[in-house]
Chains A and B, each alone.
Chain A
């Protein structure tokens, strides 16, 4: 067989090109988790054309928000994004408290910020680990998910649940911190940076990782703003915007942390930002852990305060009060508020229109991922 014959057998990608080859990503694809379905026409590994369909995970949560009392709806906020349930709980509690003009106690605010930063770390871990796993770096997945596990164990000790926490309550938290929490948080804060460093060493100069992330999925600054992309994706595009600094809530004005901004808007930048944000979160956790104040966890407000269990069992009036809070719900005055927090994925907003009574008139959840998917 001559060399010419051999060359004949060599095919290029173009020989295999068939415009009818379609790939259906999702809604059950492991990379999608039911959120988005994408039908792509592919040429080799390049997507030439795609259409999206969203709504497979639509669970009528906003309608339920109009049907359930403010308290009952708390459990649904867990399901908005199960990677950062704590963040959603707290953001929702904050929105209702804003309408009721309640400001949580200092201890409560500390605990809430700790929770939000923990859930930010968890969410970023899931994002980076799953991303790395999808391009074949399984080690990264195991290294990081170990720390997610540690964080979940810590959350379990706080509220008894791991994934769907329902930790926050309107006006306080369901449980106080466990006794040895501070030590556990110190241990976590001391040890996780080493893991982040190790992952960075594995990925930052990894040829495969760079090839598959640099210049991939670029969103430039103008598009990001035009498509209302928020959070990490917006910062990766070079827009210096973080609600924790720009519209601070709770303890954030007193904390020292940096907002990480990228320049290229590609997957690699988003990965770098997530890594650095985890470090910043650890920095915040350390600052908070130094000075968690003692004092009451609950606001002293009869409208929302859930009475102590012991009192419920022994005192008649308290039992009635307990019953009224849980059966009738809390009476939220007329008014509306659009309260946003910087969630791990971006701006998570709750727009609640109250017309008095225990149920919301309109419960709008402004989810960051809906906007991010649109840009996608």
Chain B
């Protein structure tokens, strides 16, 4: 009864994916760590941020990877050091529209280490990198506009870091200075208080 129907049963897809694996093992995984995740997708560990960007560039021109789509760019906290030395892990989720294969590039980053921006390769990286900066405080070299995106600009701290308490709040005043009632403007032809019309 428990019939499994998933894309992994598709023979043609399996062939492309195994080609991709062979290519990754032969060319890219010589001095890098290649893993698979629970969905059998390749995860390649880059040596450093520059190497990660170089890998993305290489995958974009490689015939057997044909990466042309940045599915997601994110990071996660590696506070417990389970993935190795480095405070954060930067994650690129790459996708190929033609081959339908996914590749994940991961890269360990130190607490103050700078990552390389992908904006010159994918415009989509712009907001995604801003989000990573906003949430983790990872800075990106050569990013055109690295500001907070989801949180308020006055926010301090990086909420998705593990040490940030979930219940911490930072309330702000309205970020527009103009307040009704704060500095009332004199309006002509208003009735002066105390002398209502008809009470003369």
Task: Tell me the minimal C-beta distance from B90 to chain A in angstroms.
Answer: 12
Q: Are A338 and B41 in contact (CB under 8 A)?
A: yes
Q: Is A210 an interface residue (CB 8 A)?
A: no
Q: Are B6 and A103 in contact (CB under 8 A)?
A: yes
* A247 contacts across to B, CB distance below 8 A: 7, 13, 100
Q: Is A241 an interface residue (CB 8 A)?
A: yes
Q: Are B150 and A54 in contact (CB under 8 A)?
A: yes
Q: A253-B10, A349-B71, A351-B72 are in contact. Are A337 and B97 (CB under 8 A)?
A: no
* A337 contacts across to B, CB distance below 8 A: 37-39, 41
Q: Is A371 an interface residue (CB 8 A)?
A: yes
* A308 contacts across to B, CB distance below 8 A: none
* B39 contacts across to A, CB distance below 8 A: 98, 337-339
Q: Are B126 and A355 in contact (CB under 8 A)?
A: no
The interface-forming segment of B49-57, B74-82, B107-115, B183-191 is B74-82
- Of A66, A103, A225, A339, which contacts B97 at CB under 8 A? A225
- Of A98, A225, A336, which contacts B69 at CB under 8 A? A225
Number of B positions contacting A (CB below 8 A): 47
* A366 contacts across to B, CB distance below 8 A: 71-72, 74, 93
* A362 contacts across to B, CB distance below 8 A: 76-77
Across the interface, name the chain B residue whose C-beta is closest to A109: B5
* B5 contacts across to A, CB distance below 8 A: 106, 109, 250-251, 253-254
* B122 contacts across to A, CB distance below 8 A: 226-228
* A226 contacts across to B, CB distance below 8 A: 122-124
List the count of A-B residue pairs having beta carbons below 8 Å apart: 122
Q: Is A353 an interface residue (CB 8 A)?
A: yes
Q: Is B86 an interface residue (CB 8 A)?
A: no
For the residues of B in contact with A, the DSSP-based class is loop
* B159 contacts across to A, CB distance below 8 A: 60, 63
Q: Is A307 an interface residue (CB 8 A)?
A: no
Complex-state Cα separation, A67 to B93, whole angstroms: 24
Q: A54-B150, A63-B159, A228-B124 are in contact. Are A338 and B93 (CB under 8 A)?
A: yes
How would residues 87 to 101 of chain B score, 1 for a CB under 8 Å from any chain A CB and 0 otherwise?
Answer: 000010100010010
Q: Is A58 an interface residue (CB 8 A)?
A: yes
Complex-state Cα separation, A254 to B9, whole angstroms: 12
Q: Is B1 an interface residue (CB 8 A)?
A: yes
- Interface footprint category on A: 35 or more
Q: Is B146 an interface residue (CB 8 A)?
A: no
A21-71 CB contacts (< 8 Å) to partner B: 54-55, 58, 60, 62-64, 66-67
Q: Are A63 and B160 in contact (CB under 8 A)?
A: yes
Q: Are B1 and A106 in contact (CB under 8 A)?
A: yes
- Of B68, B104, B166, which contacts A67 at CB under 8 A? B166
Q: Are B3 and A106 in contact (CB under 8 A)?
A: yes
- Of A55, A62, A335, A374, which contacts B124 at CB under 8 A? A374
Complex-state Cα separation, A54 to B9, whole angstroms: 40
Q: Are A351 and B1 in contact (CB under 8 A)?
A: no
Complex-state Cα separation, A84 to B76, whole angstroms: 27
Q: Is B29 an interface residue (CB 8 A)?
A: no
Across the interface, name the chain A residue whose C-beta is closest to B74: A364
* A60 contacts across to B, CB distance below 8 A: 159, 166
Q: Is B28 an interface residue (CB 8 A)?
A: no
Q: Is B61 an interface residue (CB 8 A)?
A: no
| Most chain B Cβ neighbours within 10 Å, of A103, A106, A228, A349 | A228
How would residues 337 to 376 of chain A score, 1 for a CB under 8 Å from any chain B CB and 0 otherwise?
Answer: 1111000000101010101000001101010001100100
Interface CB pairs A-B, < 8 A, 21: A62-B135, A62-B160, A63-B160, A64-B166, A66-B160, A101-B38, A105-B1, A225-B97, A228-B70, A246-B100, A249-B7, A253-B9, A296-B1, A338-B93, A347-B71, A349-B72, A351-B74, A351-B91, A361-B76, A362-B76, A374-B124
Among all A-B residue pairs, the 7 with the closest Cβ atoms: A228-B124, A55-B150, A362-B76, A58-B150, A366-B72, A337-B38, A246-B100
5 further contact pairs, Cβ within 8 A, besides A99-B38, A225-B69, A254-B5 = A98-B38, A226-B124, A227-B124, A299-B2, A366-B74
